[in-house]
């Protein structure tokens, strides 16, 4: 413990600034973080309002496990202000303690392995319908033709919302998360603001409509009927939760699909290896999840805690890309290699502790269906030479602009 140093002295001693939005490729950023792990595994970045940056699997896992015990998740942002700029935590990811537990009791049953398995046939049909949209062309815009709409359909299904609203929802979510490609900061703010307004109007209308209808077995009815702290949720709270469902459910799956397909295009032998035996696919998906890990959580210290031997007082913030935990060589030998049958300690792509991903069974099912149907209908593919994939960091790391080429196939519907 280093209780003898004041927090200001600790800041100074461990100072190594860090930019979560650094405009570099993911591999380069991970290489920089690997170096940081070697030279200063726990460091303090004075950028913005300041935060500690963790790089070791064990330190990150330890903080995640201690949510509600010295740490809380609000605001879940390295700059100390949640992405909506609001003092209300996003539901449920920035809510802690007993209130958070009540939200999980509401949501968990809709995301159990049994419940999500009921969606398998519908989702498989949708995966094929999307593939039908481009399979005859021998070329596809993978993001807009699959990686974004497929998780979009999935979330709409789980919410019980009309699937014909898919394009609307995808447009809004994508704009909200990534703005307008190439736009100025002012344009980005304007288009994001408009997407937020439009999505809010849509969701409030949906809430109103569903209040007037009989209850169904879906997240929307569950949220309308539940009492949290003895009270029904307000329209604002319902909107917050539904919005998070969209953003958390779309961007993450899109990222894993896109990062994986770019990797597989560059390592075509791995595409067949994933399907070598019926039991090969599951560990292969876990390995791709480990390798891709898009989420980047932050935790806030609310009572004296110890992090990697340092004593941190309330008010400090701890930030950690989960990909950096998943690439820790102390846990995963050759961490940057995708070893599809790797036998390893569980990865942290879905987080850990009280906020561990609600949608993890659903996400695994989506990835299983997506890879299986894509492999069946597109046994070989490559990156289109005229469109270079583009990667982004931020609060969910990902890849955009993925265009694939393949031997044309036939539509199935």
**Min dist. Cβ of residue 369 to ligand HEM (A):** 12
Whole-number minimum distance, CB 244 to ligand HEM, in Å? 6
Q: Does residue 104 touch ligand HEM according to CB under 6 A?
A: yes
One residue of 63, 288, 349, 365 binding ligand HEM per CB under 6 A: 349
Among 89, 152, 179, 249, binds ligand HEM (CB under 6 A): 249
**Which pairs with CB-CB distance under 8 Å and at least 24 residues apart come from 239-244?**
239/200, 239/203, 239/204, 239/207, 240/88, 240/90, 240/91, 241/91, 241/92, 241/103, 242/159, 242/203, 242/206, 243/90, 243/199, 243/200, 243/203, 244/90, 244/91, 244/92, 244/93
Choice from 42, 51, 53, 93 touching ligand HEM (CB under 6 A): 93
Q: Are 290 and 347 in contact (CB under 8 A)?
A: yes
Does the protein bind ligand HEM through residue 248 (CB under 6 A)? yes
Size of the site for ligand HEM (CB under 6 A): 27
Between residues 145 and 351, which has the closer beta carbon with respect to ligand HEM?
Answer: 351
73 binds ligand HEM (CB under 6 A): yes
By beta carbon distance, the residue nearest ligand HEM is 359
Note whether 363 binds ligand HEM by CB under 6 A: yes
Helix intervals (H) in 133-234:
142, 149-159, 166-178, 185-211, 219-225
Kindly state whether residue 358 participates in binding ligand HEM, applying the rule CB under 6 A. Answer: yes
Question: Nearer to ligand HEM by C-beta: 246 or 308?
Answer: 246
Name the nearest CA neighbour of 200 among 246, 150, 265. 246
CB-based contacts of 398, cutoff 8 Å, min separation 6 = 251, 254, 255, 258, 259, 294, 391, 392
Residue 295 binds ligand HEM, judged by CB under 6 A: yes
Give the interface with ligand HEM as residue ranges (CB under 6 A). Answer: 73, 76, 92-93, 104, 155, 158, 244-245, 248-249, 252-253, 256, 294-295, 297, 322, 349-351, 355, 357-359, 362-363
């Amino acid at each position: 413990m280093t209780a003898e140093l004041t927090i200001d002295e600790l800041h100074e001693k461990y100072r190594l600034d860090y930019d979560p939005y650094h405009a570099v490729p993911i591999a380069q950023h991970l290489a920089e973080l690997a170096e940081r792990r070697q030279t200063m595994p726990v460091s303090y970045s004075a950028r913005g309002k300041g935060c500690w940056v963790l790089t070791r699997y064990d330190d990150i896992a330890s903080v995640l496990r201690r949510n509600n015990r010295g740490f809380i998740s609000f605001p879940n942002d390295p700059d100390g202000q949640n992405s909506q700029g609001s003092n209300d935590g996003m539901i449920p990811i920035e809510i802690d303690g007993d209130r958070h537990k009540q939200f999980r009791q509401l949501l968990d049953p809709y995301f159990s392995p049994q419940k999500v398995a009921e969606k398998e046939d519908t989702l498989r049909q949708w995966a094929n319908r999307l593939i039908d949209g481009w399979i005859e062309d021998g070329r596809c815009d993978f993001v807009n033709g699959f990686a974004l709409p497929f998780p979009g359909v999935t979330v709409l299904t789980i919410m019980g919302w009309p699937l014909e609203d898919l394009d609307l929802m995808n447009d809004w979510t994508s704009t909200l998360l990534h703005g307008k490609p190439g736009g100025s900061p002012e344009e980005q703010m304007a288009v994001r603001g408009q997407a937020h307004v439009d999505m809010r109007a849509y969701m409030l209308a949906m809430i109103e409509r569903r209040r007037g209808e009989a209850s169904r077995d879906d997240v929307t009815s569950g949220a309308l009927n539940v009492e949290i702290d003895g009270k029904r949720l307000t329209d604002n709270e319902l909107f917050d939760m539904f919005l998070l469902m969209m953003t958390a459910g779309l961007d993450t799956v899109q990222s894993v699909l896109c990062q994986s397909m770019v990797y597989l295009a560059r390592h075509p032998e791995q595409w067949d290896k994933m399907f070598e035996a019926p039991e090969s696919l599951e560990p292969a998906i876990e390995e791709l999840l480990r390798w891709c890990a898009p989420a980047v959580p932050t935790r806030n210290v609310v009572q004296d805690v110890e992090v990697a031997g340092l004593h941190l007082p309330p008010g400090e913030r701890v930030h950690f890309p989960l990909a950096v935990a998943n690439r820790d060589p102390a846990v995963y030998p050759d961490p940057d290699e995708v070893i599809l049958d790797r036998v390893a300690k569980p990865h942290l792509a879905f987080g850990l502790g009280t906020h561990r991903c609600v949608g993890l069974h659903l996400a695994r099912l989506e990835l299983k269906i997506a890879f299986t149907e894509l492999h069946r209908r597109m046994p070989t593919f490559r990156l289109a030479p005229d469109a270079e994939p583009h990667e982004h960091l931020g609060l969910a790391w990902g890849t955009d602009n993925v265009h694939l080429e393949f031997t044309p196939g036939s539509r199935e519907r």
